[in-house]
Amino acid sequence: MIQLGSTDLIVHPLCLGGNVFGWTADEASSFEVLDAYAAAGGNFIDTADAYSHWVPGNKGGESEAIIGNWMASRGNRDSMIIATKVSHLPELTGLAPETIKQGLDDSLRRLQTDRVDLYYAHYDDPQTPQAETLGAFDSAIKDGKVRYIGASNFTAERLQSALDTSDSNGFARYSVLQNHYNLVNRGEYEGALRDVVASNGLVSLPYYSLASGFLTGKYREGSVVEGARAKGAGRYLDERGLAILAVLDSIAAAHDVSVTAVSLAWLAAQPTVATPIASARVIEQLPDLLQMTGLELSPSELDELSAVSV
């Protein structure tokens, strides 16, 4: 277990993504994954009010509802660290104070809990003054409905501005950044954004940690893989991607672990990264993810992966 940055949240080294719950995983399959994750010592679950509004017939909130039903049926809310988000649900967009208040109350109802451990601004809202947004988050913390807040999908400039706004107004600060970052997608984070995270004492929780499944190694030249994410993973199947897979294969064989575990271990070892976020649609996918928790890559292995993916 690790301490999440400057917070007092003690979390598992792998954050379980809940984006698939209510999308590619029905409630029964989701319960199996959640049970297995908890049985392995997992306690950190990431979701959002917007998951999974894009599915025909869904409205959003399906993932939260499944997680809430699971915690209620297992009686384990106090042993779980729950992160959710606001601003991206089609019927409740932006970060105006009234939106945050309604979104939070709706999330608490679906999650069947009285507080959220980590509450994110899912996407930035340039139309709302940051002081109003952060004032609303600060009030939610003072009301006991939220323990810590985080930013997701922010630019370096907007994240720094938000932190400065919190400091100048005495509001709670964002403690973490959730961002797109993995072995094949490094440019968005490495640089100014990572510098802001590091210089302000934040930590990063990367999503798309496995590049829509590409970094599990199941997408190969000439292979045909069906699934909701196959198209997204296929765009990495080029000369660079194949070179990365070759190095992953070699390191995975040396440690007798999955390519998935090596990909996540590289990410977890990067400066400022606290825990990667990864999801499992079915229980059979979970062991490969959990292997990363006991895997420590050597400096030369980390350097080799960094060099081939530059």
**Annotated catalytic sites, by residue?**
51
CA distance 94 to 129: 11
Provide the CB-side half-sphere exposure for 64 (13 A, CA). 28
CA distance 226 to 233: 11
Tokens matching residue 264: 């996540």
SS3 85: strand
Give the chain's end-to-end CA distance (angstroms, integer). Answer: 30
Long-range contacts of residues 249-255, Cβ cutoff 8 Å, at least 24 apart = 249/217, 251/297, 251/301, 251/304, 251/305, 252/217, 254/301, 255/295
CA distance 88 to 194: 24
Angle at 279 between CA 276 and CA 283, to 5 degrees: 130
SS3 135: helix
Helix, strand counts (H, E) of the chain: 11, 12
